[in-house]
Amino acid sequence: MENEVLVAYERLVSAFREGRDKFPSFADDATIVDGGRWFASLAEYRGAWEAWVAEHGPLVPESVETQVLDLRVLGDTAVLIQSIESRERTETGEETEQEIETIVFGRQPDDRWLVIHQHLSPQR
């Protein structure tokens, strides 16, 4: 099962790295904490993401480096903790962001592992 979760994780990370739609990796009832803001549903998060993209343009990072720090599979739930370093080009130059992310995957009735909760925090 651990390998199945890692495949789902890589699919999510690859979509982010390439600037593709990452939302197919999420369950419809997923909850998200991003930028210090709580999103009670995927639809709410997607709306905020689309508004951000409309204002700032599509997010295609220059580079994204990730490291899985811990993975625990607990039946039909898996908790993955990773560190992320991403570099982006902005109007003011290049910015580097370092974050710690907790991703909770849930195995769906069709056996897919989807994100059911995601929490991003700045790394200090």
User: How far is Cα 82 from Cα 86, in angstroms, rounded to an integer?
Assistant: 13
> Taking the domains of the chain in order of start, what are their residue ranges?
2-122
Strand order in the sheet with 77-90: 37-39, 26-34, 113-122, 93-107, 77-90, 63-74
Partners of residue 37 on adjacent β-strands: 34
Q: Which CATH class is domain 2-122?
A: alpha beta
Q: Identify the helix (H) or strand (E) that includes residue 50.
A: helix 42-56
Q: What's the pLDDT score for residue 19?
A: 77
pTM value is: 0.87
Closest-CA residue to 101 (of 29, 9, 15, 28): 9
Give yes or no for a contact between 71 and 6, defined as CB atoms under 8 angstroms apart.
yes
Tens of pLDDT, residues 54-84: 887 666 677 788 899 999 999 999 999 999 9
Using alpha carbons only, what angle is made at residue 116 by residues 110 and 118, rounded to the nearest 5 degrees? 145
| Res 114: pLDDT | 98
Report the pLDDT value the prediction gives residue 56, as an integer from 0 to 100: 72
